[in-house]
């Protein structure tokens, strides 16, 4: 029975590698977002003379939005891989290794995730307010409600983290 238990535990431990294709998929998502970013930059520069100020601001906010999402994906990929799959030991001495890499736990990852979601939601809300003539009141109300929900959730996550004694 002990051998069966040991074999099961080894299989369970090895199953963490089933997450590796997920992280590879996130790399592909980064490529897709990079293409989208390039398309947005091209659009901004091709309409630089004809676009209004608010259209330019919305375009720049779209770029910021994509950059935030890409940064969030990097954090999720690095910290998720290191927390759940394998340590990146060969990269500890790499000159470009981010200082936070290897130090973000699951709790920190959740806080960063909700913080990024709130920021992304705020940017989308700001874009809607700048384009208020083309957005229905009902749609805008839903956006505000969802943003407030994300905001309250973020505060509650941070509060729970602090109450557990993990807050910095």
Residue-wise pLDDT tens digits, 116-157: 888 889 988 988 888 888 888 899 999 999 999 999 998 998
- The torsion defined by the Cα of 78, 108, 30 and 118, in degrees rounded to 10, comes to 180
Q: Answer positive or negative: Cα dihedral of 78, 124, 138, 144.
A: positive
Asked if 65 and 123 touch (Cβ cutoff 8 Å), the reply is yes
Domain containing 25 equals 1-91
| Domain assignment of residue 142, yes or no | yes
This prediction's pTM = 0.73
Task: Say yes or no: 160 and 122 in one domain.
Answer: yes
Task: Say yes or no: 123 and 84 in one domain.
Answer: no
- Residue 80 vs residue 151, higher pLDDT: 151
Task: Say yes or no: 84 and 20 in one domain.
Answer: yes
How far is it, in rounded angstroms, from Cα 102 to Cα 99? Answer: 8
Task: Say yes or no: 81 and 122 in one domain.
Answer: no
Residue-wise pLDDT tens digits, 12-56: 988 989 999 999 999 999 999 999 999 999 999 999 888 888 888
Task: Say yes or no: 81 and 3 in one domain.
Answer: yes
Task: Say yes or no: 40 and 81 in one domain.
Answer: yes
How far is C-alpha 105 from the geometric centre of its chain's CA atoms? 15
Task: Say yes or no: 86 and 112 in one domain.
Answer: no
Count: domains in the chain: 2
Task: Say yes or no: 56 and 116 in one domain.
Answer: no
| Domain assignment of residue 100, yes or no | no
How far is it, in rounded angstroms, from Cα 33 to Cα 36? Answer: 5
The reported pLDDT for the residue numbered 135 is: 84
How far is C-alpha 144 from the geometric centre of its chain's CA atoms? 20
Length of the chain: 168
The reported pLDDT for the residue numbered 99 is: 67
| Domain assignment of residue 99, yes or no | no
Confidence of residue 101 (pLDDT cuts 50, 70, 90): low
How far is it, in rounded angstroms, from Cα 106 to Cα 168? Answer: 15
């Amino acid at each position: 029975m002990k051998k069966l238990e040991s074999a099961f535990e080894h299989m369970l431990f090895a199953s963490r590698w089933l997450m590796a294709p997920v992280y590879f998929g996130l790399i592909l998502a980064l490529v897709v977002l990079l293409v989208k970013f390039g398309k947005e930059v091209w659009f901004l520069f091709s309409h630089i003379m004809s676009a209004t100020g608010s259209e330019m601001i919305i375009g720049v906010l779209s770029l910021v939005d994509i950059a935030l999402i890409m940064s969030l994906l990097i954090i999720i990929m690095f910290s998720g891989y290191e927390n759940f799959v394998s340590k990146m030991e060969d990269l500890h001495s790499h000159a470009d290794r981010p200082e936070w890499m290897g130090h973000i736990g699951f709790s920190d990852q959740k806080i960063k995730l909700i913080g990024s979601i709130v920021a992304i939601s705020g940017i989308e809300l700001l874009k809607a307010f700048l384009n208020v003539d083309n957005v229905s009141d009902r749609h805008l109300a839903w956006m505000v409600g969802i943003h407030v929900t994300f905001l309250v959730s973020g505060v509650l996550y941070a509060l729970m983290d602090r109450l557990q004694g993990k807050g910095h």
